Chain A
Amino acid sequence: MTAQSLFYWSLVVTAAGLVLIGLWGVLTRKNILRIALAFTLADTGVNLILVWSGFLPNRSAPIVDASVTSMVDPLPQALVLTSIVIGVAVAALFVVVGVLASRKSGSADVRRMKELRW
């Protein structure tokens, strides 16, 4: 296994790991701010998978230059730029709703929030 393919596969393993850890955190944590953190972790993992899917071996970044002959796919990177911004917006809203809910129930514990029980 060459260094490049090791990097390639370790990237997607990291990304999938982030998604799984984030999902596990969302499902099992009790503090609503930790759930928000786990959610952003999963979000980052999804973004990493998208960027990874546009990667092609032995190509440069999609910025045209006289010395550049071939480049990776710019489309997933543009998509991830959008995804990051939406992720920030959703995370900001998540935290605020969490603060509001914890003020109402007197604690950040989701088990005490009747509306959030599962």
Chain B
Amino acid sequence: MIRTYVGLIIVLALGAIVVSSLSNYSVPLELGSTGHNYTQRGVDDTGSVNLVTAVVVAYRGLDTLGEVVVLFSASTAVVLILTLIPMGANPTPSSSIVSFTAGVLPGAIVLFGIYIISHGHLSPGGGFPGGAVVASAFLLIMLGSNTIPGQSRLLASIESLAGLTFGLLGFWGMMTLGQFLNNKVLPVGSPGKLLSAGIIPLISLVIGAKVASELSGVFASYRKAGGEK
């Protein structure tokens, strides 16, 4: 009972702070200086028409590398902790609707994911959302089959290879242009074309492969630990 009251008091206090700060909030009409710089120079600097991708992959590429490391360590920790939990005997059997869908849809889902990954510099998308879409196809396959997924050497090697390639692409810029993850080691090309924007499409591809394999690994270890005891 006391939990509810304390929780309610804390939430109400925070709500009052939110309301009082919003009542003094004035709607901005112009961009801040950083945002202004990105929108003015983004296309010339990076060749990426999608400025969000330009910021994520080119301007703040090092942060994205760190983000990939966070995702990697989290997925490693998930797999590690799940080995402590006794394995389920058999996964809960899936219904015929799920197993039929799992036979039909994954190809189209993977294709859509590859489209999102490869067009990250042209339209909303990129490595992270596209990789998540590809991983959802693997999740569907796993839900449709009634066996426990085994160890996958292929997934592990794709994951390591993608991480290694990301680092090597960074060092390529350091060797040739003196800057880690410099985007202009490849020609920027004409913005709006599929093959343009320097190494942004390559990095999107690498991130997509890494996110897809990592999330698939997490789903697979969930599937292994779940099921009837």
Residues of A within 8 A of B (CB): 5, 8, 12, 16, 19-20, 23-24, 27-28, 54, 56-57, 61-65, 71, 73-75, 77-78, 81-82, 84-86, 88-90, 92-93, 96-97, 99-100, 103
Interface residue tally for chain B (C-beta within 8 Å): 55
Q: Is the CB of B39 within 8 A of A81?
A: no
Most chain A CB inside 10 Å of its own CB: which residue of B31, B54, B82: B31
For B215, the chain A residues whose CB sits under 8 A away are 88
Distance in angstroms from B155 CB to nearest chain A CB is 16
A92 vs B99: C-alpha distance when bound (angstroms): 25
Interface of B is mostly: helix
Residues of B within 8 A of A (CB): 3-4, 6-8, 10-11, 14-15, 18, 22, 27-32, 34-35, 38-39, 42-43, 49-52, 54-56, 60, 63-64, 67, 70-71, 74-75, 77-78, 81-82, 84-85, 123-124, 126, 128, 132, 191, 211, 215, 218, 222, 225
Distance in angstroms from B66 CB to nearest chain A CB is 9
Interface of A is mostly: helix
Nearest A residue (CB) for B55: A78
A73 vs B42: C-alpha distance when bound (angstroms): 12
Q: Is the CB of A78 within 8 A of B52?
A: yes
A74 vs B39: C-alpha distance when bound (angstroms): 8
Task: Using known A-B contacts A23-B14, A63-B51, determine if residue A86 contacts B29 with beta carbons closer than 8 Å.
Answer: no
Task: Using known A-B contacts A12-B22, A62-B51, determine if residue A28 contacts B3 with beta carbons closer than 8 Å.
Answer: yes
